[in-house]
Amino acid sequence: MPAKMSPKVHATRSPQPSGPLAGQVSLVTGASRGIGLSIALRLARLGSSVSICGRDAAALKNAEAQLRQSGAQVFSCVADVTQSASVEQLVLQTEKSLGPLSVLVNNAGVGLFGPAHERSEQDWDRVLDTNLKSVFLVSRAALPGMIARRAGHIINISSLAGKNTFAGAALYCASKWGLQGLSGCMAEDLRDYGIRVSLICPGSVATDFSHSSKKDPAKLLQPDDVSHVVEMLLTQGPQSFVSEVQMRPLRKP
């Protein structure tokens, strides 16, 4: 894993659309495809300006083009969210291009599967850094402004693997169980500042990320199912917050 990503940045501006999130700025990590891209597109349709990041420059460019078609103000940046210097630049450049952050969706994730005793130290570091450390780093960079404004919403995309164990998923489950604890503590630390922290725990979602080839894709959750829950969380009444949402397919795949 490289220590620092090259700063490939793209920003576009167009008339601000209307909607329940009009005037807000959202950052979605790991948004070049799959769940992250679906969430970014949903936020744009709700009127938010959207910043996206990823490590695949070509996929990120394609995601940016899709967002631009929605009429949203868009900022995109190749970034490694496991590195603090890269994260700090991501947040700084997002706010410079679009304005103060209102919404952070920590979606970046990776899965390496197999028995723990067969995985390397490098595998452990990659999974824990991407799935857990990145949430700490990006949230820490975004929070000073949210705290000063006494407003904001952080949504962490976890998994039912953060609630259950299963064979071959030791590293992944460890990262998601850790994210469960981190999210809960953040929610308690930040609620007095008017900042809501929510956790979404989907079951298997039909994306390139899914590790199970034996499940019927037609019965899996879809990325839009997750983005629908993000919309629900962001449009609830200001006097409350939903701390956790567990999602399962209607029919067992």
**Which residues fall within 8 angstroms of residue 14, CB to CB, at 6 or more apart?**
68, 71, 72, 73
Distance CA 171, CA 117 (A): 10
Q: Is 193 annotated in the active site?
A: no
Length of the chain: 253
Angle between helices 34-45 and 57-69 (to 10 degrees): 20
Q: Quote the tokens at residue 249.
A: 């397919």
- Which residue's structure tokens are 């597109």? 41
Neighbours of 118 (CB within 10 A): 9
At 138, which amino acid appears? Answer: V
Neighbours of 239 (CB within 10 A): 5
Nearest CA-CA partner of 152 in 95, 203, 116, 194: 194
Are the beta carbons of 99 and 74 closer than 8 angstroms?
A: no
Q: Which of 172, 174, 196, 204 is catalytic?
A: 172
Radius of gyration of the chain (CA): 17
Are the beta carbons of 159 and 202 closer than 8 angstroms?
A: yes
Catalytic residues: 172
